[in-house]
């Protein structure tokens, strides 16, 4: 009998930001010991303490060497079996920890492909995926050639940040050279120009595909469309909107096909993935923007659960612990509850429990605790409970009804809640 089957599986979770409560709860429900390592600034968040065997805070500026040493200290008493990054900024650290302790899971080579947009773009290009032309801010001759071949506007974006952080839209070469000069004057060497890309800006609608991957294959995927491109929301303010793409539509089929191609090309073996694409207004083609080895933020998992009944965090947790056997899971299953092996644990194909539509309206709020009770349509299934954030998730069997509500609510949010802050130049 393997050692991991003779005792509870020990899972160490890393979370620089407040994410993954459902993952932690599911690991505990499956009989694991769960240790969470977070930053001091996140210590007071509403973590699921009843599902944690230990909660450890490290300094906000803690890097991989300190984290590896901390896990070594933990390992004196609790031998780690899994190290899982619940947040984007922990993906590389988790990989380095796994390699140091010879644990299973994503290597640092694969993790860097998901964290570095230059490597990511090169891998996607080599696999034949359609994406905007790009060039790193490194060689002046390459940059001149790019700007002569590719008409503006262009996007300058950091190779390793998330969302719209640090992204700038530029319109002429002089502006590009000026920004490169500014970047190369920065004191932090990792914030200088070589850590940025220049890419063609493509106007169009932005979509995202969120997946669960097992044994290198997409076990589940859901496709959504943003109401406005995230870059536009980040720089112009207003409500963030996302809703389900029409089931069995050409958009959904094409997005799923490209997503499967990406997962294979980037060598994701298991876990969650969040990929973004833009459908060009000019030619109607989908262009790949970026992919991350994590569950999407901004309550994307909640929207997908509303539409499908399938929770990305919980399914990811089941896959992580699947090879520990099913005996503890069956013993812990309550009366009348199907064993996890029948519910998709470790499966290469996860079937949604329903086939409906859902969407979210979310914004920063002027009020610390915004009151959304005036939004009282029966389709509302979730209300965001987060300081200075207003948001609701709606669900319906009718996509047109979801779109109608989201359109109404985004307009009302502008009057009732929306607060605008300058976009971040780098993650805090």
Mind listing the pLDDT tens digit for each residue in 310-332?
A: 999 999 999 999 865 543 443 34
Judged against a pLDDT cut of 60, whether residue 342 lies above it is answered with: no
CA distance 288 to 208: 10
CA distance 250 to 6: 48
CA distance 53 to 55: 7
Top-confidence residue, 425 or 60 = 60
The answer to whether 410 touches 239, Cβ cutoff 8 Å, is yes
The answer to whether 393 touches 400, Cβ cutoff 8 Å, is no
Residues of the chain with CATH 3.30.1490: 133-200
Q: Which of 101, 79, 63, 107 is nearest to 11 (CA)?
A: 79
The answer to whether 240 touches 420, Cβ cutoff 8 Å, is no
Tell me the mean pLDDT in the region 29-56: 97
Q: Which of 162, 129, 124, 117 is nearest to 266 (CA)?
A: 124
Q: Which of 417, 420, 357 is nearest to 384 (CA)?
A: 417
Q: Parallel, antiparallel, or unpaired for β 33-39 and 10-15?
A: parallel
Mind listing the pLDDT tens digit for each residue in 26-39?
A: 999 999 999 999 99
Residue 309 is predicted with a pLDDT of: 97
| Contacts by residues 293-297 (CB-CB < 8 Å, ≥ 24 positions apart) | 293/85, 293/91, 293/106, 293/110, 293/111, 293/114, 293/268, 294/85, 294/86, 294/87, 294/88, 294/91, 295/19, 295/20, 295/86, 295/210, 296/208, 296/210, 297/19, 297/162, 297/163
Distance set, CA 27 to CA 82, 135, 324, 341 (Å): 11, 42, 12, 15
The answer to whether 23 touches 13, Cβ cutoff 8 Å, is yes
Residue 163 is predicted with a pLDDT of: 54
Instruction: Assign 1 a pLDDT band (cuts: 50, 70, 90).
Output: very low
Residue 89 is predicted with a pLDDT of: 92
- Asked if the 204-310+350-416 domain carries CATH number 3.30.470.20, the reply is yes
Q: Is the dihedral of CA 228, 126, 173, 178 positive or negative?
A: positive
Beta strands in 186-236, from DSSP E residues, in sequence order? 196-200, 204-214, 217-226
Phi, psi of 20 (to 5 degrees): 80, 25
Q: Parallel, antiparallel, or unpaired for β 286-292 and 10-15?
A: unpaired
Residues of the chain with CATH 3.40.50.20: 9-111
- Asked if the 9-111 domain carries CATH number 3.40.50.720, the reply is no
Q: Parallel, antiparallel, or unpaired for β 54-58 and 33-39?
A: parallel
Q: Which of 268, 145, 272 is nearest to 208 (CA)?
A: 272
Mind listing the pLDDT tens digit for each residue in 136-176?
A: 999 999 999 999 999 999 999 999 875 556 889 999 999 99
**How far apart are the two ends of the chain, measured CA to CA in Å?**
46
Helices assigned H by DSSP within 131-283: 140-149, 173-183, 230-236, 250-265
Residue 347 is predicted with a pLDDT of: 58
Percent of the chain with pLDDT over 90: 83
Mean pLDDT score of the chain: 91
Q: To which H or E segment does residue 412 belong? A: helix 399-416
Q: What is the DSSP letter of 127?
A: T
Q: Mind spelling out the 3-state secondary structure of 261-311?
A: HHHHHCCCCCEEEEEEEEEECCCCCEEEEEEECCCCCCCHHHHHHHHHCCC
Residues of the chain with CATH 3.30.470.20: 204-310+350-416
Can you spell out the DSSP letters for 46-62?
---GGG-SEEEEE-TT-
Match 């499967």 to its residue by tokens: 260
- Asked if the 133-200 domain carries CATH number 3.30.1490, the reply is yes
């Amino acid at each position: 009998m393997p050692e991991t089957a003779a005792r509870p599986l020990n899972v160490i979770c890393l979370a620089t930001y407040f994410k993954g409560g459902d993952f932690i709860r599911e690991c505990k429900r499956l009989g694991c010991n769960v240790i969470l390592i977070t930053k001091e600034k996140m210590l007071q968040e509403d973590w699921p303490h009843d599902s944690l065997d230990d909660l450890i805070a490290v300094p906000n500026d803690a890097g991989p060497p300190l984290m590896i040493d901390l896990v070594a200290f933990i390992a004196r008493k609790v031998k780690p079996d899994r190290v899982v990054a619940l947040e984007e900024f922990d993906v590389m650290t988790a990989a380095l920890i796994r390699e140091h302790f010879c644990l299973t899971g994503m290597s640092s080579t694969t993790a860097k492909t998901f964290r570095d947009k230059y490597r990511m773009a090169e891998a996607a290009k080599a696999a034949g995926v359609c994406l905007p032309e790009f060039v790193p801010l490194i060689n002046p001759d390459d940059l001149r050639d790019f700007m002569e071949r590719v008409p503006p506007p262009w996007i300058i974006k950091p190779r390793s940040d998330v969302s719209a952080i640090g992204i700038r839209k530029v319109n002429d070469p002089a502006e590009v050279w000026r920004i490169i000069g500014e970047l190369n004057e920065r004191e932090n060497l990792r914030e200088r120009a070589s850590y940025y890309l220049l890419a063609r800006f493509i106007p169009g609608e932005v979509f995202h595909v969120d997946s669960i991957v097992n044994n290198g294959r997409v076990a589940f995927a859901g496709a959504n469309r943003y109401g406005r491109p995230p870059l536009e929301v980040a720089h112009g303010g207003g409500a963030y909107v996302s809703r389900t793409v029409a089931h069995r539509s050409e958009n959904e089929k094409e997005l799923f096909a490209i997503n499967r191609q990406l997962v294979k090309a980037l060598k994701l073996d298991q876990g969650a993935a969040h990929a973004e694409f833009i459908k060009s207004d000019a030619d109607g083609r989908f262009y790949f923007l970026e992919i991350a080895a994590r569950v999407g933020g901004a309550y994307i998992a909640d929207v997908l659960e509303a539409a499908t009944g399938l929770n990305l965090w919980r399914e990811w947790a089941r896959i992580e612990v699947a090879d520990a056997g099913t005996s503890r899971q069956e013993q812990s299953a309550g009366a009348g509850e199907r064993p996890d092996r029948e519910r998709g644990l470790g499966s290469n194909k996860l079937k949604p429990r329903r086939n409906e539509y859902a969407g979210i309206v979310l914004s920063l709020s002027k009020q610390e605790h915004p009151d959304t009770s005036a939004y009282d349509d029966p389709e509302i299934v979730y209300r965001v409970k987060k300081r200075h954030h207003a948001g609701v998730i709606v669900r319906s069997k009718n996509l047109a009804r979801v779109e109608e509500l989201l359109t109404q609510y985004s307009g009302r949010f502008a009057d009732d809640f929306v607060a605008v802050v300058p976009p971040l130049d780098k993650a805090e």
